[in-house]
Structure 1
């Protein structure tokens, strides 16, 4: 019986628009979360796939020795595509010339991601291919052609084998970012390794295995593989690479994650406010039902069924609208980026449906319980039930729900905490401001005929409702300001890291007598270049006379010295300089004195993260082992280095009195354009020992990530703007009936239409300006923390948004709010009374 009545009431209330608010709120929650999570996931997948080109696969396994064939066969069982690589050095011989080349032997499946760039001749145009050389042929980098004085089609000896030179190797997707092999690279077919006879017991070789597949397949395979890995084997993805590319990818994903969190926060606020408004509008019908004999159980079942129906319907509509919205956004991004976006999968569908369901349940529970407690006497005394106490337990549960949903979506507790705490801060400040403002407004009095006085009086009358509206408006404005400023800062930071004039070519293996002709060449050809830095390799062997722990031999039964400090295993490139490089900043200590050349004490400036790992302090003396030579240097400063600039940088810089003590080569970087290609080729012919490393592809990839994230941010901003507008519309729509009553009363008392319209406009301007000011201040402080904690950039305050916030808030809120109530104010008094009845 009650089910039939419930459906009748549901149908009538739906036609009358009584369920519009809560329906719109749930649909808003679902479509916001779906569209944001879907588009950000698709962009994130696209960025990851593009970035995977730079390791020629989705994952790679590196090993110093061959691994069991079961490892690759098992990968095929998991549905993964695989390829094998082998790296070794070997001599090449042709035309009485002998040179050591860096050989990479590949199977035909290589590369699994990305493409190889080759040329049919030194003067031909480059093009891309998806497989390596066939058996019996070999591809050489351009420098080897000049050193060996060969052309495409000639024969070359590699080890004991003779191969046909079939292509000029221009670029490999997984070429090392910096390698001393430079332009002495060789690409060989994997099946020809035995022909070279270069691999003998004890040979220094390096194995790499590539994998391509879906993320779940890779994760499952790694779970099987991990227990089998040795300590000298490493499983890597693009995020594991310590490079500007990997760092920018991580920043991009963090930004897209923030965008999704903003959508959840906005949706939760909309749902909480709308559910309360809807239930308040049902106080009179519930009182009438109880007067006519309706039991609490029947009333509860009716409204729970209403909530269930509207929840299911709104989730379905939200998913459909969200899908259309993200499809339109994805199509736009595809047209701009010129690349297909991968499908997002089922996560956005499940996540948005779950969030819509949880929001409907958690944020409607307390308002529904209040609704069931409405006394029947309300039919006689209309104010009964209006002052139901706010449950602290419900508030705590609601906040906990929002926090849990944000954490579920992000998976990062720090990010969630920063945004959640800043939001609570906004709420607390706005409640305090609203109380002070509305209390202070009473002392101003109501001056007849003043629109401002009428606006302030209206704000005072709806103090509690306006406090909630202030919070909703402020959160929407806060999220918009947050995204706008963060976009500007992060994108500007990335563009500064990779500026337009960034070098795109490293020049290495330069002898001292070759510096002058190279500089003359660069000047004559108008090629921007960096200084030539003396470079040598050295290992930090001791600190203040105490040797670091050395590597022990288990074969000989040596035991590790547990008391010795751990040092750095690798030998970094070191240099000496008289002036501090542009992208370096002294954070402690002082740079070398001008007269340091006259001193016998060598000084050293150390990068900050080496200070921490070696436990260094100013004044310490470190022992550097260069070949067999021992160099002692005093630590006089610590530096912060921006490695992402792609300019030459060093972990340790020594003072200039180091010059002449160790043999060095020289190293520089230049910005080479397409028109310089022929000139550079002629230069390499004259100086065949010089190597040039092309890093243009790395720069292009970094710039591609920046462009994609910039476009994505624009899309996210539009979604947040639409969501904020919908929250505002639902807030204003909930108060339309009350506003109709006020208009009728004011007109009855003789108020003119212009007075009422201006008072309404001023009311929204005040609400928007206050909300915008608080949102701007809290956003700026939160941004300061976020930039330092999540993006590892220097946080800074943006005082211009302290003006932009109130201004944009006043315009945004007043425009939408006034538009919503303008139709009501244009109706005559008789029409309004008819609607109210």
Structure 2
């Protein structure tokens, strides 16, 4: 019986449009979440895939000893692509010249991600390939050709083997970001290792296995591999790589995460407002049903069925529209970036459906329970039940649900708390300010009959409703301002960390006599360059007299000294300076005292935390066979993302002259400097050059993609904000009709009513925009420092942009919504109200 009645009422509600608001809100939540999560996920996957090019794989396993063949066999079973690498140093001999080269032997299939860049001649254009040298051939970096006096096709001896130098090696995808090998690199076919006879028992050899494939298969493989890995073997992805690239990838994901969270927040607000409004509009029908004998159980079943049907239809429609929207957006982004964006998988579907259902249930639950408690006497006394309109329980439930949904979407409690806390502060400030202003509205003393007086009186009359509206407007404006600043300021700040004048090449292994010659070469050819830094290799061996743990050989059955502290685990590039380098900031202690005659050292914050070093500690260093001690006088923050020369440990000049050093600098070469670079390397064959141009391009590509994604999110949020505003204004249409009828009856002219309505929305929008701007700026300041670890700054221009855009946005949409109502005659309005 009730089921048939429920279907009849549902059909009637659909025709009357009573379910339109809640239907649109759920669909809005679903399509917003689906489209935003799809676009941001696809761009994130694209960034990760491009970043994977820089390790030539999706994952890699590194080891100091040979890796078991079973690792490859199991990976192939899971459908993963694999390749092997072996690294060792060996002497190269040709034309009576002998040079130490860094050999990388690679198997078939390399690279699994990215490409190798080659040249067929010194003056030839470079090109990209995916493959390895043929057996009996090697690809040499340009510096080796100069050092050995080779021409393309000449023979070169590597160990006991003789090979044909067939190509000039310009770049490999997994070339080290900074390596003393520089331009003395050799790419060798893995099958030719034996021919060199360079790898003997006791040789210093480094091994890698590369893996590429689906994330699920990689996760399954790592689950199998992890129990079998030794302590000195490392499983790495691009995020594990300690370089500016890994930092940029992490930062880009944070930007995309913030963008997605804004969509979640706005969709949830739209649903909360709409669910409450829909239930309020059912008070009279429920009272009528109870008067005619309808039981509470029957009414409950009817409206719960309505909610289920609306949820099902709206989720389906939201998914369909969201799918079309994200397809259009990603096609545009793919064409703009000239890239094929990968599919997002099931995550956006699961997120959208879950959030749509949870929103429908949690935001409707308390209003529905209130709806079932409406007394039958409401048919006679229309104000009965109105006290249920503002429910603290519903508000608390809605706020808790929004927080849980944001946490569920982000998976990061800190990020969620920052955004949620900023929004909560906005709501509290706005509610207090709005009540204070609206309650004081009649004390302003404006002249009777003026549009401003009528607007302020209307605001004061609906103080509670306007406070809720103001919070909704301010939240929408806050999210828009937030995204606007995120795109135009934070992205720009990020981009500024890779400035146009950033160096695109490092020059290392410069001897002291060559410094003056190379500096003169730079000046003559107008090449921008950094200072020349002395560099020597050394190891931090002990802290306050206690030795760091020595690396133990698991292959020889040694065990780690559990009582010793963990050191850096490797030799470091060390230098000395008198002035604090650019991009560094002393955060604890003091920079070197020029009058001090003691050995002092400054350490980067990250290294100090990893080695548990504090100001005043004494570090013992081992350089070659010489040991010396230095006091820690300062800890520095280092901007590694700037791509400028940086060091984890810097000594004062008292260390100068103790050890032989080479010099290191950075330079910026232009597009047409290829011949200039070749001449430099010919004149200085022992100098090594590291080209980081491709790394710079990758960083800029990430920034461009994230900026485009946020532009799309901003468009979605703007649309969603407009829909939230429309639903809020629509909720007050009935009350506005009553006011218009009363004002016309009292003789008010149409112009007075129109201007009063316009001023009302202008005041609401300006106030919402002003508070939203202030709260947004404070929240952005915290986010800059806590999430992106950059120096925070305020953005005063949004204090003007907020009120201005808020007033125009709310007034335009609000006035448009009520314009049709004001155009109707009094008789028509009375008929609608009846």
TM-score calculated relative to the size of structure 1: 0.96
* Bigger shift: residues 392-401 or 143-152: 392-401
What is the match of residue 443 of structure 1?
443
Tell me how far apart the structure 1 counterparts of residues 591 and 516 of structure 2 sit (CA, whole Å). 28
Match of 1:739 among 736, 739, 744: 736
What is the match of residue 657 of structure 2?
660
What is the match of residue 325 of structure 1?
325
Q: Secondary structure at the residue paired with 2:114?
A: coil
Tell me how far apart the structure 2 counterparts of residues 387 and 704 of structure 1 sit (CA, whole Å). 56
Q: Deviations over 1:415-434 (max 9, x none)?
A: 11222222222222222222
Displacement of 1:295 in angstroms is 2.4
Displacement of 1:556 in angstroms is 9.5
- 1:409 paired to 2:409: yes
1:726-765 matched pairs, under 5 angstroms = 726-765=723-762
Tell me how far apart the structure 1 counterparts of residues 564 and 135 of structure 2 sit (CA, whole Å). 51
Tell me how far apart the structure 1 counterparts of residues 700 and 262 of structure 2 sit (CA, whole Å). 26
Displacement of 1:601 in angstroms is 2.2
Indicate conservation of the 8 Å contact 2:440/2:460, yes or no: no
* Bigger shift: residues 445-454 or 14-23: 445-454
- 1:789 paired to 2:799: no
Indicate conservation of the 8 Å contact 2:366/2:393, yes or no: no
Q: Secondary structure at the residue paired with 1:801?
A: helix
Displacement of 1:818 in angstroms is 0.9
- 1:833 paired to 2:830: yes
1:553–1:234 CA distance, 2 compared to 1 (3 A): closer
Match of 1:669 among 666, 670, 677: 666
Indicate conservation of the 8 Å contact 1:446/1:457, yes or no: no
1:811-826 matched pairs, under 5 angstroms = 811-826=808-823
Match of 1:633 among 630, 652, 656: 630
Indicate conservation of the 8 Å contact 1:544/1:622, yes or no: yes
Displacement of 1:283 in angstroms is 1.3
* Bigger shift: residues 178-187 or 788-797: 788-797
- 1:3 paired to 2:3: yes
Tell me how far apart the structure 1 counterparts of residues 228 and 627 of structure 2 sit (CA, whole Å). 40
Q: Secondary structure at the residue paired with 1:675?
A: coil
1:316-715 matched pairs, under 5 angstroms = 316-388=316-388, 390-444=390-444, 447-551=447-551, 565-594=565-594, 596=595, 600-715=597-712
- 1:147 paired to 2:144: no
Unaligned runs of 5+ in 1: none
Tell me how far apart the structure 2 counterparts of residues 620 and 225 of structure 1 sit (CA, whole Å). 40
Tell me how far apart the structure 2 counterparts of residues 31 and 557 of structure 1 sit (CA, whole Å). 59
The root-mean-square deviation of aligned C-alpha atoms, in Å, is 1.9
Tell me how far apart the structure 2 counterparts of residues 120 and 653 of structure 1 sit (CA, whole Å). 42
Indicate conservation of the 8 Å contact 1:24/1:730, yes or no: no
Indicate conservation of the 8 Å contact 1:744/1:832, yes or no: yes
Unaligned runs of 5+ in 2: none
Tell me how far apart the structure 1 counterparts of residues 381 and 555 of structure 2 sit (CA, whole Å). 93
Displacement of 1:518 in angstroms is 0.7
Match of 1:775 among 772, 776, 788: 772
1:81-92 matched pairs, under 5 angstroms = 81-92=81-92
Indicate conservation of the 8 Å contact 1:446/1:454, yes or no: no
Indicate conservation of the 8 Å contact 2:474/2:768, yes or no: yes
What is the match of residue 59 of structure 2?
59
Tell me how far apart the structure 1 counterparts of residues 826 and 444 of structure 2 sit (CA, whole Å). 30
Tell me how far apart the structure 2 counterparts of residues 769 and 237 of structure 1 sit (CA, whole Å). 48
1:505–1:552 CA distance, 2 compared to 1 (3 A): closer
- 1:802 paired to 2:799: yes
Aligned length: 834
Indicate conservation of the 8 Å contact 1:152/1:166, yes or no: yes
Displacement of 1:610 in angstroms is 3.3
Tell me how far apart the structure 2 counterparts of residues 692 and 604 of structure 1 sit (CA, whole Å). 28
1:757–1:390 CA distance, 2 compared to 1 (3 A): closer
TM-score calculated relative to the size of structure 2: 0.97
Displacement of 1:280 in angstroms is 1.0
1:652–1:272 CA distance, 2 compared to 1 (3 A): same
Displacement of 1:160 in angstroms is 1.4
1:545–1:376 CA distance, 2 compared to 1 (3 A): closer
Tell me how far apart the structure 2 counterparts of residues 423 and 259 of structure 1 sit (CA, whole Å). 15
Tell me how far apart the structure 2 counterparts of residues 646 and 52 of structure 1 sit (CA, whole Å). 19
Displacement of 1:719 in angstroms is 0.8
Tell me how far apart the structure 2 counterparts of residues 553 and 162 of structure 1 sit (CA, whole Å). 34
Tell me how far apart the structure 1 counterparts of residues 562 and 108 of structure 2 sit (CA, whole Å). 48
Q: Secondary structure at the residue paired with 1:101?
A: strand
Q: Deviations over 1:268-317 (max 9, x none)?
A: 11111111111111111222222222222222222222212211111111
Q: Secondary structure at the residue paired with 2:387?
A: coil
Q: Secondary structure at the residue paired with 1:383?
A: coil
Q: Secondary structure at the residue paired with 2:529?
A: coil
What is the match of residue 719 of structure 2?
722
Q: Deviations over 1:39-76 (max 9, x none)?
A: 00001000000100000111111111122211111111
Tell me how far apart the structure 2 counterparts of residues 183 and 123 of structure 1 sit (CA, whole Å). 17
Displacement of 1:3 in angstroms is 2.5
What is the match of residue 158 of structure 1?
158
1:585–1:836 CA distance, 2 compared to 1 (3 A): same
1:538–1:759 CA distance, 2 compared to 1 (3 A): same
1:697–1:421 CA distance, 2 compared to 1 (3 A): same
Displacement of 1:676 in angstroms is 1.3
Displacement of 1:807 in angstroms is 2.0
